[in-house]
Homo-oligomer: A and B are copies of this chain.
Amino acid sequence: MIDPTSIVLKRFPWLNEEADVVFASSGRTVRQFQAHEDILSTQWPAPGVYAICSGFACRYAVLANGQRQIMGFVLPGDLCDPRAAVFDRVDYSVAALRPVEAVLVPSDYFSTLTGSSASFLRSLWRVTAIDDAIDRQWLLNIGQRNALERIAHLLCELYTRLQAVGLADQQGCNFPLTQTELAEATALSTVHVNRVLMELRHLGLISLRRQRLTIHDDDGLRTVAGFSPDYLSARELRKPGTGRTLPASIALVSS
């Protein structure tokens, strides 16, 4: 059994030193979730911020008619959801798609840290900024791309993100999502997802079999998808302000 603390410190490259300490010291609170179990839910208050160590999860919402829209995948190395540190409730649920192992960082730890460590706060902003950029790409994806492009784009996104945390190699990656889940994420029917995957296979771009995705032609897949990976990495952080002075009443704490 691997030490969860070390997993955490390895998987979250964006963490800085102070945050490392918090994660490590709270790293003993490791929780396991079964497939299909809710990790966070709109139904109950979030106990804190979960850092995913292994397994796949997804953020989702259900419409009144019962249709489910998956709004994003939460992979090892991701936080779900940073805002839980600040808000009592989340407005969407997060479910494990496969068995998930996660470190729970209690809200107290997290919010005290965000209140006291400017550099950690900046890291956190960067993380949420990437999350939001992914959300916007999904909107683009579902709004403007056809089925083939959409599926291809999602595969590119997941492959790239898994590479970033060392869970993919040159040939491909472990890929535990069902076609039904792909359908819920791309707003297509499962039948059509199946046909599109067939087409991607026949185009010689991928293989997908037994939870293993093999990329035969990365460039080709990206071209079909119109994928450019920029949005998945942190943008330039603005240099800390040169210190234009604030009215005295505001400059309560200067760094």
Residues of chain A touching chain B, judged by Cβ–Cβ distance below 8 Å, are: 18, 21-22, 25, 61, 63-64, 67, 69, 71, 83, 85-89, 91-92, 106-109, 111-118, 121-122, 125-126, 128-129, 132-133, 135-136, 138-140, 142-145, 187, 226, 230-231, 235-238, 240-244, 246-247, 249-255
Contacts and interface: CB of A to CB of B under 8 A. Distances in A.
A246 B112 contact: yes
B111 A238 contact: yes
A89 to B, nearest CB: 5
A92 B136 contact: yes
Given A117-B250, A187-B143, A106 B63 contact: no
Given A107-B238, A238-B86, A144 B255 contact: no
Which 5 pairs, one residue from A and one from B, show the smallest C-beta to C-beta distance? A143-B187, A108-B241, A108-B244, A88-B236, A116-B253
Contacts of A139: 69, 71, 135, 138-139, 142
Contacts of A121: 114, 121
A153 to B, nearest CB: 11
A135 B133 contact: no
27 contacts: A18-B252, A69-B139, A86-B126, A86-B129, A87-B126, A87-B237, A88-B235, A89-B236, A92-B136, A108-B241, A109-B244, A109-B246, A112-B244, A112-B250, A112-B251, A115-B241, A115-B253, A115-B254, A116-B246, A116-B250, A116-B253, A116-B254, A116-B255, A132-B135, A138-B139, A139-B139, A144-B187
